[in-house]
Amino acid sequence: MKYVIIIPDGCADEPIEALGGKTPLQAAKLPTMDALAAKGCMALANNTPSHFPAGSEVANLCLLGYDPNEYFTGRAPLEAAAQGIQLGKHDFAIRCNLVTIDDQIMTDFTADHVSTEEATELLASCQKELLGDTACDARLEFVPGVSYRNLLIYRGDADTPAPFSSETRTSAPHDLTDLSVVDDFPRGPGSDILVRLMSDSAALLADHPVNKKRIADGKRPATNLWLWGLGGAPAMPTFEQRFGVRGVMITAVDLLRGIAALVGWPRIDVVGATGYLDTDYAAKGRAAVNALADYDLVCVHIEAPDEASHEGRHDEKIKALEQIDQHIVAPLVAALTDSGPHRILITPDHPTFCSTKKHTHGMVPLLMAGDAIEADTQTTYDELAAEAAGRRFDHGWDLMDAFVQPK
Ligand SMILES: O=C(O)[C@@H](CO)OP(=O)(O)O
């Protein structure tokens, strides 16, 4: 049996007036997904239990069958795993965004998609200038990731455990777009250290040559560090131990790469996959089709619908969905049809509303089709059809059992 999972990140939405009351999924032309909906079954799933942030970190763990109550320690540790960073039991990983804040308003949580080269240079300056020789500072290291998505690692030991804990509260910068940041600085254990670094970064970055050049080039500068999503070392059984299936991940973002590493999946890096609206959908589709020869399960994650939502652009969200249908779902369905028994699952992780530019808690529509999956009466892939189907996974982590071993 071959399995395919396609994750159009954040694609679930609400009806939008400018779309005549349709959601982006309803407004998009998705012939292949609709054909699968007609052959397969739809359902709703909740991947964001209300006591967790409505983030991709919790939601993607959930949809791959991992109960966040048991396995989630924070977002940054998952991304650290993508970089091969091993965390010891006294270590902590902290997500470090480069952001643009103007007059205390979060103008851009991506610092205008600052390049990885620029981010690396900015973080090197932060390492040199913001961290002193206090016992705590000496244990902190900024680690560049991709573009605005970077890390700060604390290395502790039994005598000097991390000052942070699961009680340290932080806010995701992509949920603050266009909003005041004044009430959203870290709180709780160790937050004084994080707040100091975030505050001190403003003066350092203001005069930085990288930013001066960005401004001269008409780009937004990276005005601040924003620290959030921290946690200690995660541990979880592999996907093969859980479900007896060997998988592989295709994604452009460290979060999904890290989850893949932790569940024992290799990753296929695709040239042209950017994690943004300009990603090369066809290249991801081709890589996924090729991977079917070597793995039982191929998982393709596409970040673009979520990024379009964070920018409040329903037109771009529709375009991204149509590209996914044409360049990823269609070639995979064609390849699966020729390859014997198979099942396909299409599901976003969480809803992201174009109206608020934020992730939100709530059910997402999912579609399963293939061998031993009984058809229901729905014929389109969207939120209303999934609700009408009447099947629900109130615990999103139960979905994977139903997909791998349908009753
Ligand atoms: O990586 C991130 O910072 C965010 C926004 O780009 O991703 P997501 O919305 O998928 O959590």
User: Are 366 and 268 within one domain?
Assistant: yes
Please state the domain count of the chain: 2
List the residue whose alpha carbon is closest to atom 4 of ligand 1. 174
Ligand 1 probe mutation, 253, 274, 350, 358, most atoms within 8 A of CB? 253
The C-alpha angle 302, 305, 268, rounded to 5 degrees, equals 10
User: Are 334 and 216 within one domain?
Assistant: no
Band of residue 133 on the pLDDT scale cut at 50, 70, 90:
confident
Asked, for residue 263, whether it belongs to a domain, the answer is yes
Ligand 1 centre from 208 Cα, in Å? 26
Category of 23 on φ-ψ map: left (φ > 0), alpha (ψ -120 to 50) or beta? beta
Domain end (from 231, 264, 297): 231
What's the pLDDT tens digit per position in 41-89? 999 999 999 999 999 999 999 999 999 999 999 999 999 999 999 999 9
Asked, for residue 242, whether it belongs to a domain, the answer is yes
Could you tell me the residue range of the domain that residue 393 belongs to? 2-70+236-404
User: Are 359 and 225 within one domain?
Assistant: no
CATH of the domain at 274: 3.40.720.10
Q: Which residues pair with 49 in a beta bridge?
A: none
Asked, for residue 397, whether it belongs to a domain, the answer is yes
Q: Indicate which atom in ligand 1 lies nearest the CA of residue 75.
A: 11
Q: How far apart are CA 189 and CA 202, in angstroms?
A: 23
Asked, for residue 30, whether it belongs to a domain, the answer is yes
Q: How far apart are CA 332 and CA 288, in angstroms?
A: 7
Ligand 1 centre from 149 Cα, in Å? 8
User: Are 219 and 294 within one domain?
Assistant: no
- Rounded percentage of the chain residues whose pLDDT exceeds 90: 97
| DSSP string for residues in 338-383 | TSSSEEEEE--SSBEETTTTEE--SEEEEEEEETTPPP-S--S-SH
Q: Tell me the average pLDDT of the chain.
A: 97
Ligand 1 centre from 9 Cα, in Å? 9
For the stretch 123-130, contacts whose Cβ atoms lie closer than 8 Å and that sit 24 or more positions apart, written own/partner, are: 123/96, 123/150, 125/204, 125/208, 126/197, 126/201, 126/204, 126/225, 129/204, 130/197, 130/200, 130/201, 130/204
Band of residue 338 on the pLDDT scale cut at 50, 70, 90:
confident
User: Are 56 and 108 within one domain?
Assistant: no
What's the pLDDT tens digit per position in 197-222? 999 999 999 999 999 999 999 999 99
Closest CA to 43 of 396, 343, 306: 396
User: Are 250 and 341 within one domain?
Assistant: yes
- Is residue 407 scored above 80 in pLDDT? no
Neighbouring residues of 112: CB distance < 8 A, sequence distance ≥ 6 = 100, 214, 219, 220, 221
Asked, for residue 82, whether it belongs to a domain, the answer is no
Q: Indicate which atom in ligand 1 lies nearest the CA of residue 97.
A: 3
Helix (H) or strand (E) holding 25: helix 24-27
User: Are 212 and 98 within one domain?
Assistant: yes
Q: Indicate which atom in ligand 1 lies nearest the CA of residue 174.
A: 5
Ligand 1 probe mutation, 11, 251, 255, 277, most atoms within 8 A of CB? 255
Domain end (from 231, 249, 278): 231
User: Are 245 and 223 within one domain?
Assistant: no
| Ligand 1, residues at Cβ distance < 6 Å | 9, 55-56, 149, 174, 306
Asked, for residue 202, whether it belongs to a domain, the answer is yes
ipTM of the complex: 0.96
Please tell me the number of Cα atoms within 13 Å of 294 on its side-chain side: 12
User: Are 217 and 261 within one domain?
Assistant: no
Asked, for residue 289, whether it belongs to a domain, the answer is yes
DSSP alpha helices (H): ranges in 116-222?
A: 116-130, 191-206, 209-216
- Is residue 353 scored above 80 in pLDDT? yes
Asked, for residue 40, whether it belongs to a domain, the answer is yes
Ligand 1 centre from 341 Cα, in Å? 34
User: Are 270 and 254 within one domain?
Assistant: yes
Ligand 1 probe mutation, 306, 317, 350, most atoms within 8 A of CB? 306
Q: Indicate which atom in ligand 1 lies nearest the CA of residue 173.
A: 3
pTM equals: 0.96
Q: What does the pLDDT read at residue 54? A: 94
Q: Are 281 and 289 in contact (CB under 8 A)?
A: no
Q: What does the pLDDT read at residue 357? A: 96
Q: Are 18 and 318 in contact (CB under 8 A)?
A: no
The CA-based diameter of the chain, rounded to the nearest angstrom, is 66
- Is residue 372 scored above 80 in pLDDT? yes
Ligand 1 probe mutation, 78, 100, 303, most atoms within 8 A of CB? 303
Orientation angle between helical segments 116-130 and 191-206, nearest 10 degrees: 110
List the residue whose alpha carbon is closest to atom 5 of ligand 1. 174
User: Are 101 and 166 within one domain?
Assistant: yes
Closest CA to 45 of 404, 368, 407, 406: 368
User: Are 209 and 245 within one domain?
Assistant: no
96-120: average pLDDT: 98
252-256: average pLDDT: 97
- Rounded percentage of the chain residues whose pLDDT exceeds 70: 100
Q: What does the pLDDT read at residue 228? A: 98
Domain end (from 231, 249, 270): 231
Band of residue 155 on the pLDDT scale cut at 50, 70, 90:
very high
123-137: average pLDDT: 94
